[in-house]
Chains A and B, each alone.
Chain A
């Protein structure tokens, strides 16, 4: 590793944050507003620990910093626990596979599970990943052959708690990345069966995981993927605060006042899929309170891109890229449409503003969070976005970059299949990643779209896009109907009049005072 900064963001974290620390004696589970006393052992009134990695130290005060501890080594992403054992749930997916390669290359011992749900769901749509991906056995072979990496994979459903328990006992992960959810709003809106399967897999899978963690690895940090869609897009423009209110958020009512400190900020999910993630948020929050589990809940913006240094090393190491109406995220879909030479399709006015982050930047965020674990019992939320964009503006960017590849496409507005505000303000607070974890986005939208077009215009991939172009247009409507959306308007890029709102992303350190009131 080279070039890591003078002061790494997690230098002052201590044993208290470290998954190798084993708390000696009993601990007190006094929670906010409730208490459960346990008999205490006498250790001079202090909590002591033993280090699982350095048992020769005996019992001691958990105050050694990552900077001082030889088990934590400096990297470009902060101090990292040597050979850190990381388990990735959903390791076969778009993000899971990409992160597995990155972490293994950084020296982590990576394990993972998957039951290939994503492959099955995309096949159910009659679609395929336009960037071909290898079968898991070939992926693992290629990781070994090309990068010299060993990944410990086990095929299983996250809801199979016995198997998961057994694998956790075998691996004893020091961090768990949870990507094992069905990540599609339209999929959850197809019909009752799909809505139920989405909530069953996501919510019950996560709930079972929490119980397994409690029994087997309560010291492990859970890095859980949520979504910015949990917050929705309030029409009032009220900022999307980062997870919880601070203590100076005050509710005034009937001439009395209360601090909102620590209460979960409003959630307004926009599909049954998003509802499943909100339920996860509450389940994890509670598990941290009851059992001293620890977690970062990541409210991730819409992801796009195909490119990280690892997946580009070999065609067998590539991660998937979906373009169908269920699993194709908007930018990925636009790029595929540009390659096909068909109009880029925006839903409704196209004035919807969303948070976005490129694949490689998201992987960097995850790595930085992973090396800086929360304390026992700490539940925290981070808003993981690198930019806010209006959907219609994204279409303009893709159309513009497409010109460099000789692609000339129009943009068309479709009748919106979703129930959502089509014109709204959006203010997103994302202060923790830049200020507490040292994250700076490295990839611009234009750069990643260029990378995508380079890959997707290769003849062999272009033909795979061509083969599945009938799966791109939306047929799943929030009303429950199945039909094509009517075309409202077709226009040339660069001709659309600017209107509506602009998004505002708040990343600085300043903490403005919050005051709510009701009379």
Chain B
């Protein structure tokens, strides 16, 4: 689901569950091509929310999280950043990244 600066704090930082945020740009082809993998992640049984932030439309969030390349995936838990990974990810890589960074 797409979120913006308006509801980011509520949906991500104050969430009960861990949250994976996909910072993406409309010009970015690898970002566009992540869609099937994100769908697979949502169906994978992880107790995890997945949100997307369009960095074109949310330059402040981009600046706040120092996004220099897209896609950037940041994993949040209890309001804290637990890890980030940059670039197109395969389903196994994304799941591996999440498993490595969750408590």
Contacts and interface: CB of A to CB of B under 8 A. Distances in A.
B87 A259 contact: yes
Contacts of B30: 32, 247, 259, 261-263
A73 interface: no
Contacts of B32: 244, 262, 378, 380
Given A34-B69, A45-B58, A246-B35, A260 B27 contact: no
A255 to B, nearest CB: 13
Interface size class of B (residues with CB under 8 A): 35 or more
Interface string B23-63: 00111111111111100100000000000000111111111
Contacts of B70: 30, 32
A514 to B, nearest CB: 9
Contact of B34 (A261, A285, A379, A380): A261
A257 B28 contact: no
A24 to B, nearest CB: 12
A261 B60 contact: no
A223 to B, nearest CB: 18
A270 to B, nearest CB: 25
B91 interface: yes
Given A34-B69, A257-B92, A246 B33 contact: yes
A47 B59 contact: yes
Nearest to B40: A248
A292 to B, nearest CB: 6
Contacts of A447: none
B93 A257 contact: yes
A30 B37 contact: no
Interface string A23-37: 000011011111100
The binding surface of chain A is classed by DSSP as loop
B69 A32 contact: yes
A31 B4 CA distance: 20
A292 B4 CA distance: 21
A44 B92 CA distance: 38
B89 interface: yes
A31 B27 contact: yes
A40 interface: yes
B67 interface: yes
Contacts of B55: 28, 30
Interface in A273-327: 285, 288-289, 292
Contacts of B26: 16, 375-378
Interface in A371-417: 375-380
Contacts of A378: 26-27, 32
Interface in B46-103: 55-63, 67-71, 87-93
Given A32-B69, A259-B89, A247 B58 contact: no
Contact of B90 (A34, A257, A263, A376): A257
A244 B63 CA distance: 29
Given A246-B37, A247-B37, A262 B29 contact: yes
Interface of A: 16, 27-28, 30-35, 40, 44-47, 62, 244-250, 257-263, 285, 288-289, 292, 375-380, 511, 513
Top 8 nearest A-B pairs (CB, nearest first) are A377-B27, A45-B60, A262-B30, A261-B88, A262-B29, A375-B26, A261-B33, A259-B88
17 contacts: A16-B57, A30-B69, A32-B69, A33-B69, A246-B33, A246-B35, A246-B36, A248-B91, A257-B92, A258-B90, A259-B88, A259-B89, A261-B30, A261-B89, A262-B32, A376-B27, A377-B28
Given A28-B62, A32-B30, A261-B89, 16 more contacts: A32-B29, A35-B68, A45-B59, A45-B61, A46-B4, A46-B57, A245-B33, A247-B35, A247-B37, A248-B37, A250-B92, A259-B90, A260-B88, A261-B90, A379-B29, A513-B91
